[in-house]
Structure 1
């Protein structure tokens, strides 16, 4: 079981396509439903009044709608994507020492990571062919990673450049996470992976059921084994991620359960204390949408 707590980073250069929504202008009178761009987000006017207030101050007159296209991969939601039709890149700076970069809800062909001096430290194709037989190896269809985690060969800090190569005319990214991986014990099987369904249903008096489709979120339940002598260290580490969005990796094996990886929050943690040399604690993780 590995937990990656995100670090803050600064975007020095962002070559993603710019959002075409017009910038907010204090001299302009906006009508209801008009959209503007302000401080990295798209805002929708909720009033026809002749007002000129800043959108992030008067919430009764403006509704925060979504991040701008170039900033969509920087918010905490996986469902919002930075959309590009060709190759693009970002240059970022992190003052913490990191060894893990996660790319979530993506669609592209390749990711290349370079240091400040241009040295390539990672180059990875998002296209793969998973085979169980020789026939599948030679004739099976290729697949594309929707989420990918790159563990660097060594921890670094400072500036890096990440290049995204398009798959045809698509190079989309939902979320970028940079952090340092922390081993927190051995996942004990069976583990549980389920989904929370946010769809709503209503059934009328004739038994006809209508469904309003909603999103779904992953929900994971783990039992993790550790040595008794390490409990205080791991307990303190886990306590630091309460109310923090983090990446949880239940199975790091190449042929392991990819479903046991999610970006989410810690919902429940319990650790029955025993006198044996080993003990087990429980984690419940709710994935983000």
Structure 2
């Protein structure tokens, strides 16, 4: 799933290529991906894009007083082409969900792989009209996201810190992969209760959020879109690396599986050498 660093890279990539260019045609291929119907997505035809923005894990293209807002979900992506076909794409069961052709022939496809269709596309006059955007917590790169603000967010929070980091209503942009990476960098168990963090642990976690996400953004900056997913995977130290050696201490990275996801962690770095219990227990094995 694209998270803050990948969507930020998409924002920069598209911003350099679409701003100042007008839209020639829009083809909504997968109607199920459209979550709004008025204005229609074809209202962008003839419009000149004047900005590309990011809201957490949402991407927004702005032009003509409208916003084309996308949430790429687990398997969505944007594919750029310097020369898109002029004719309408064939409808079918392929990954193509939306095609935007710019004046001059360049443009981009919005695609979604797999059978779980969760890609969401909105056309709105204000990004706050998108429910997922309206509920977002502060962005980790916002100057207002200070250590004091973060500390206040955790006060009285009885959930496990892994779930808190992934909650878009608490902090915008962090998903399953980068929450694993942040917790590893902070040397913290994903099952630790947020309200139980000491002042020093809170500071360590806050710094790990900024450092981990910032480094991921820098690694992705300037890369072609086709390389961003590979860059994300290669830069991860624990997420998706069950059974491999921890790059910090050499211990074997372990996993806790859930119904539709899994988390990875290093016992030595994060849990005092003890493996985490079954997900239903949500506590350390004794």
* TM-score over 0.5 (shorter chain): no
If each structure's helix is expressed as a fraction of its own residues, which one has the higher value? 2
If each structure's strand is expressed as a fraction of its own residues, which one has the higher value? 1
**Structure with bigger RCO (C-alpha 8 Å, 6+ apart):** 1
Task: Report the TM-score range of the alignment, normalised by the length of the smaller protein.
Answer: under 0.3
Structure possessing the higher radius of gyration over alpha carbons? 1
Could you state the TM-score of these two structures normalised by the residue count of structure 2? 0.24
